[in-house]
Amino acid sequence: RPNSPSRVLEGLRKNLGLKLLALAFAVAAWAYLRLTPNPIIAARFVQQFSVPISTTGLSPGHVARYTDKEAVVAIDQARGGAPIKPDAVRAVLNLTGRGPGVYNVPVEVIAPKLEIKSLSPASVTLSIERIEERSLAVAPHYVGDPRKNVVVERVLVQPRAATLRAPSSDLD
């Protein structure tokens, strides 16, 4: 009887050392193939940068005000590749053709040949204001206790006027 249970047990008992060695080789081969990186499928990882948000295209004589000053950019990069320099990545708000007012502007990422995974914030709410100029007279103002004997021989103010240049909301 070729398939009797006693013959199967007898076959398993023969060459037990070779069978254990084959099992050890199989486990080692599995571990090697599972844990080493595959050169055909490049391993990748995500690198995050915090970059300042800048503006472009703003008309002369205007200023943009926004609260988000930095953007977090996540970039997909191949392992072992050249490291990405943070100054090579820029976050820009394009304000070309926009006058005074409130806008929600998308953040554009400028990065050379990089795959952007995520960007936060994706857009920024900002206000654009005109820069205005006002000329004001300069005058001395005495602060102190008037009961003390203060003698002023002469007051000379130079210059007689000051020019203020700022966004219109600050001058108001």
pLDDT in tens, 59-101: 888 999 999 899 998 887 766 667 777 778 889 999 998 889 9
Question: How many CB atoms sit inside 10 A of residue 91's CB?
Answer: 23
pLDDT at 36 over 90: no
Token pair for residue 124? 């920024």
| Whether the Cβ atoms of residue 47 and residue 77 lie closer than 8 Å to each other | yes
- At 87, which amino acid appears? D
Share of the chain above pLDDT 90, in %: 26
**In this structure, what are the phi and psi dihedrals at residue 2, rounded to the nearest 5 degrees?**
-70, -30
DSSP, res 61: T
CA–CA separation, 72 and 107 (whole Å) = 11
Mean pLDDT score across all residues of the chain: 82
**pLDDT band with cut points at 50, 70 and 90 for residue 123:** very high
